[in-house]
Amino acid sequence: MSDEEFLTAYGENKNTVYSVILNYVRNADDASELTQDTFMKLYGYEGEFDSDEHIKAWLIRVAINGCKNFVRSRKHPPGSDVSYEPFSEDKYEFDEIVNKVMALPEKYRIPVHLFYYEEYSIPEIASILGLSEAAVKTRLKRGRDKLRESLRKEDWI
Amino acid sequence: MNKYKSAMDTICDNEFAVTGAEMLGIAKSASLQGEIDTVKGVHRGRAAGKVLWIAAACMLVFGTTVSAMGYGPFGEGFRRFFGNDPVTASIIEEGHYGQIGQSVTDGIFTVDFVSVTGDAMYPKLLFDVTVNDEALTSMNSRLRLFAYVMDEDTYRDRRDQYVMWNAYGQKDPDVASLYHVCMDGPGYFLTKDGEVLASIEKISFEFPGYEEIYEYDVDMEYRFSVPDSALKETYIQYYDNMTIPGFHTDYDLYRAEFGAYDSVLVVTYDYIGTELADGRTDFEEVRNLFDSSWQDFSGHFVLSVDGEEYAPLESGWSWCDEEGTFFEPGRCSAWIRFPSIDHGSAESIKLIAGGQEYVLKQEIQ
């Protein structure tokens, strides 16, 4: 990948990668480091990409795999979720939607994030996460149900 | 644009402000330094420190001829595979290894637990994994083994408080279905009296491009006792009256261990009631603050051995002993690694921290 292609891919996917990692690890510093790692892998990757969408999907998969390895390496009890300190609403003048999504269990929040942030379809999310479409549908529904319970109507996505 | 996307973009732009030019520079630099090579299976750490046991990790020699199964005559075969790991090679040459020789299969995988070696701080568990599935072995995939290693009671009652040890395997150059795995293990459990359980619970395959990971749940248990002298001894010293004033809390030196791979100092500290904790009592809420403070402080430590000075290799994350198993309940600990030294022959060992000298060993003349 040329420097120009890398810069273009970075500009187009920086937030995609950072946001999915942030959703996974729920810590801004760790997300920053893992995002850099992901793009370093892109820079060193010698394979071919068919399209911009291919690059994006590759980056998301690599980012999620990096998160899994990170959580394992951090002496975190397996099977449990990483702790979460909500973003301060004093710092960001946004409604509480991000904090509510980030407070969801991992298996719900990653599909919810990919659905609403990336606007991926259910088959696309299933492909990226290595899940069946039925599993993605179920997780999306349950994630949305949990959000409905905690969000005010005017704050709905 | 939906509300969620808009809000998330705001966070991304504020929290991750690395420009394209900066990222390109980072990637180029890392590429030059080979830091994105993931063969070691560890996460590249920032200054804040990660659990990187690179120095202690077994290293494989490629292109050597070994017996198809196992390491052949142990000393010779082991040295052929691990010949570029001078520390472990030296430990082997001194006779510190013990053969286990247990095999378990589930049809797809046959895993032979070959032997235990290393030192008391960094024991190594050596496995041979035969993969009876051509689809998995035909591609250039990386095998990774995950196992709990602990005593039976801990496994039964509290294994969810531990993470599995894991290690990548290397394909045997002569046998396509065979992988050799050298896994670090817990010194604490492997140096206790009694039987140890190694329970392999997962085997994964990572395919090129980092995109695909296939994970297989397995259930392979090995009960064994570590043979006498299989692990090289380390020198351990406990301290109960050595306090090092830090930036945000006082650190009590708790333990120093000098081994063949490195030297590790462990400190304990209180976080509750400190200014940095600011009234918070849940350590998870303040962990990053205290880890950063420890990294900043301990990064300037020096280990002085008979006048020769060693800089730290790495500082570690904190953990807290909620039940008081090792320290006072609720007290937290952190650690710092220095290079291995010859404790036995050293006359004077000092830690220089915060401008003060702390005597760890002083031979009386």
CATH of the domain at B122: 2.60.40
Which of B7, B288, B317 lies closest to A98 in CB terms?
B7
CA distance A17 to chain B (A): 10
Q: B235 pairs with which residues across the strands?
A: B258
How many residue pairs bridge chain A and chain B with CB atoms within 8 Å of each other? 148
User: Are residues B205 and B299 located together in one domain of the fold?
Assistant: no
The pLDDT, as a whole number, for residue A131 is 81
A83 domain-assigned: no
Full residue range of the structural domain in which residue B199 is found? 54-224
B11 domain-assigned: no
User: Are residues A42 and A1 located together in one domain of the fold?
Assistant: yes
The pLDDT, as a whole number, for residue A76 is 43
CATH code, domain carrying A17: 1.10.1740.10
Give chain A's radius of gyration (CA, Å): 16
More confident residue, A63 or B84: A63
For the cut 60, the answer to whether the pLDDT of residue B56 exceeds it is no
The DSSP call for residue A90 is: T
User: Are residues B192 and B267 located together in one domain of the fold?
Assistant: no
CB distance B209–A47 less than 8 Å?
A: yes
Report the domain count for chain B: 2
A60 domain-assigned: yes
Residues B74-130: pLDDT tens digits?
556 666 666 667 788 788 778 888 889 999 998 889 999 998 999 999 999 999 999
- HSE-CB at A21 with a 13 A cutoff on CA atoms is 32
The pLDDT, as a whole number, for residue B148 is 94
Which of A40, A78, A87 lies closest to B30 in CB terms?
A40
Neighbours of B83 (CB within 10 A): 15
CA distance B219 to chain A (A): 16
Tokens of B142: 């990386």
Which of B5, B11, B12 lies closest to A116 in CB terms?
B5
Percent of chain B surpassing pLDDT 90: 41
Question: Residues A107, A139: contact at Cβ < 8 Å?
Answer: yes
Which of A33, A39, A66 lies closest to B23 in CB terms?
A39
3-state secondary structure of A4: helix
CA distance B3 to chain A (A): 5
User: Are residues A5 and A59 located together in one domain of the fold?
Assistant: yes
CATH code, domain carrying A116: 1.10.10.10
Interface test with A, best of B211, B216, B285, B286 (most A CBs within 10 A): B211
Q: What is the average pLDDT across A54-82?
A: 72
For the cut 80, the answer to whether the pLDDT of residue B59 exceeds it is no
A 54-93 residues with CB < 8 A to B = 58, 61-62, 65-66, 68-70, 72-80, 83, 85, 87, 92
3-state secondary structure of B184: strand
Question: Residues A49, A58: contact at Cβ < 8 Å?
Answer: yes
Mean pLDDT of chain B: 81
The CA-CA-CA angle for residues B185, B152, B156, to 5°, reads 110
Q: How confident is the model at residue A86 (pLDDT cuts 50, 70, 90)?
A: low
Please state which of the ranges B282-286, B331-335, B341-345 shows the lowest mean pLDDT: B282-286
3-state secondary structure of B164: coil
3-state secondary structure of B104: strand
Closest CA to A113 of B265, B11, B206, B314: B11
User: Are residues B220 and B241 located together in one domain of the fold?
Assistant: no
User: Which helix H or strand E contains B89, and what residues bound it?
Assistant: helix B86-93
- HSE-CB at A82 with a 13 A cutoff on CA atoms is 25
The pLDDT, as a whole number, for residue B49 is 25
Q: What is the average pLDDT across B28-53?
A: 37
User: Are residues B195 and B120 located together in one domain of the fold?
Assistant: yes
CB distance B23–A11 less than 8 Å?
A: no
The pLDDT, as a whole number, for residue B74 is 57
Percent of chain A surpassing pLDDT 90: 31
For the cut 80, the answer to whether the pLDDT of residue B213 exceeds it is no
Burial call B101-129: b when 16+ CB within 10 Å, e when fewer: eebeeeeebbbbbbbbbbbbbbbbbbbbb
More confident residue, B251 or A92: B251
Strand order in the sheet with B165-171: B97-105, B109-118, B123-131, B178-184, B165-171, B142-150, B196-206, B213-224
Closest CA to B180 of B64, B55, B70, B74: B70
Residues B131-182: pLDDT tens digits?
988 877 777 678 999 999 999 999 988 887 788 899 888 888 888 899 988 8
CB distance B210–A33 less than 8 Å?
A: no
Tokens of B147: 């196992």
A85 domain-assigned: no
The pLDDT, as a whole number, for residue B328 is 80
Question: Residues B230, B212: contact at Cβ < 8 Å?
Answer: no
Q: What is the average pLDDT across B300-320?
A: 91
The pLDDT, as a whole number, for residue A110 is 92
Which of B11, B30, B42 lies closest to A73 in CB terms?
B42
For residue B292, CA distances in Å to B213, B247, B319, B320 come to 33, 10, 13, 16
Phi, psi (rounded to 5 degrees) for B33: -85, -5
User: Which helix H or strand E contains B268, and what residues bound it?
Assistant: strand B262-269
CA distance B84 to chain A (A): 25
B213 domain-assigned: yes
The pLDDT, as a whole number, for residue B3 is 82
For the cut 60, the answer to whether the pLDDT of residue A60 exceeds it is yes
Residues of A in contact with B286 (CB under 8 A): none
CB distance B5–A76 less than 8 Å?
A: no
Q: What is the average pLDDT across A125-136?
A: 85
Interface test with A, best of B3, B141, B162 (most A CBs within 10 A): B3
User: Are residues B117 and B144 located together in one domain of the fold?
Assistant: yes
Residues of A in contact with B5 (CB under 8 A): 116-117
Cα separation of B198 and B154, whole Å? 12
A33's CB contacts (< 8 A; 6+ apart) are B46
- Distance, C-alpha B336 to centroid of its chain: 13
Full residue range of the structural domain in which residue A152 is found? 93-157
The pLDDT, as a whole number, for residue B46 is 28
More confident residue, A5 or A97: A5
User: Are residues B60 and B160 located together in one domain of the fold?
Assistant: yes
More confident residue, B336 or B57: B336
Which of B20, B31, B51 lies closest to A73 in CB terms?
B51
**Residue-by-residue DSSP string for B275-313:** TTTTT---HHHHHHHHHHHHHHHHTT-EEEETTEEE--S
For the cut 80, the answer to whether the pLDDT of residue B323 exceeds it is no
For residue B38, CA distances in Å to B30, B41, B44, B214, B315 come to 12, 5, 9, 17, 21
Residues of A in contact with B24 (CB under 8 A): 3, 6-7, 10, 43
B334 domain-assigned: yes
Residues of B in contact with A95 (CB under 8 A): 3, 7
A 97-156 residues with CB < 8 A to B = 97-98, 101, 113, 116-117, 155-156
User: Are residues B202 and B241 located together in one domain of the fold?
Assistant: no
For the cut 50, the answer to whether the pLDDT of residue B69 exceeds it is no
User: Are residues A126 and A68 located together in one domain of the fold?
Assistant: no
Residues B268-309: pLDDT tens digits?
999 888 888 888 877 878 888 898 899 999 999 999 999 999
Tokens of B101: 């020789």
Task: Name the residue in chain B with its Cα closest to that of A12.
Answer: B20
The DSSP call for residue B232 is: B
User: Are residues A100 and A135 located together in one domain of the fold?
Assistant: yes
Burial bucket for residue B242 (CB in 10 Å: 0-12, 13-18, 19+): middle
A16 domain-assigned: yes
Q: How confident is the model at residue A91 (pLDDT cuts 50, 70, 90)?
A: low
Residue that finishes a domain, picked among B224, B254, B269: B224
Report the domain count for chain A: 2
B294 domain-assigned: yes
More confident residue, B4 or B103: B103
B42 domain-assigned: no
A 2-61 residues with CB < 8 A to B = 3, 6-7, 10-11, 14-15, 18-19, 22, 27-29, 31-33, 35-37, 39-45, 47, 58, 61
Question: Residues B172, B179: contact at Cβ < 8 Å?
Answer: yes
B349 domain-assigned: yes
